């Protein structure tokens, strides 16, 4: 008895001839450009968040920096998304 890489018995792991691949992601067929951030928002947010967390010691510095980076990246993402929507119109 042969075992396929997927663990099914008696199959070689290859798709049947003529079988369509399973599409589990319904958004896959849509053509949409991915929005990529430059990292400037995250860096700026990290600096500001770290500065605001500094009075609370090392833990405040780290937590403030992480939260600031997350927030800065999100702000940059939303800004680029809004800019793209304006260009579409």
76's enclosing H/E stretch is helix 57-88
- Nearest alpha carbon to residue 37 among 88, 3, 84, 86: 84
Q: Residues 55-69: what's their mean pLDDT?
A: 95
Q: Residues 61-70: what's their mean pLDDT?
A: 96
pLDDT tens, 29-60? 556 678 888 899 999 999 999 999 999 999 99
Tokens of 10: 């008696």
Domain residue spans of the chain: 38-88
Tell the burial category of 41 from Cβ atoms under 10 Å away from its Cβ (0-12, 13-18, 19+). Answer: buried
pLDDT for 34 equals 86
b/e per residue 11-20 (b: at least 16 CB within 10 A): eeeeeeeeee
Predicted structure pTM score: 0.60
């Amino acid at each position: 008895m042969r075992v396929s890489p997927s663990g099914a018995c008696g199959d070689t792991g290859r798709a049947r001839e003529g079988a369509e691949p399973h599409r589990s992601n319904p958004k896959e067929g849509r053509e949409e450009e991915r929005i990529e951030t430059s990292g400037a928002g995250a860096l700026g947010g990290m600096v500001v968040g770290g500065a605001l967390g500094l009075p609370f010691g090392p833990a405040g510095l780290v937590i403030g920096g992480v939260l600031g980076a997350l927030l800065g990246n999100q702000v940059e993402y939303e800004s680029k998304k809004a800019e793209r929507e304006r260009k579409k119109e």
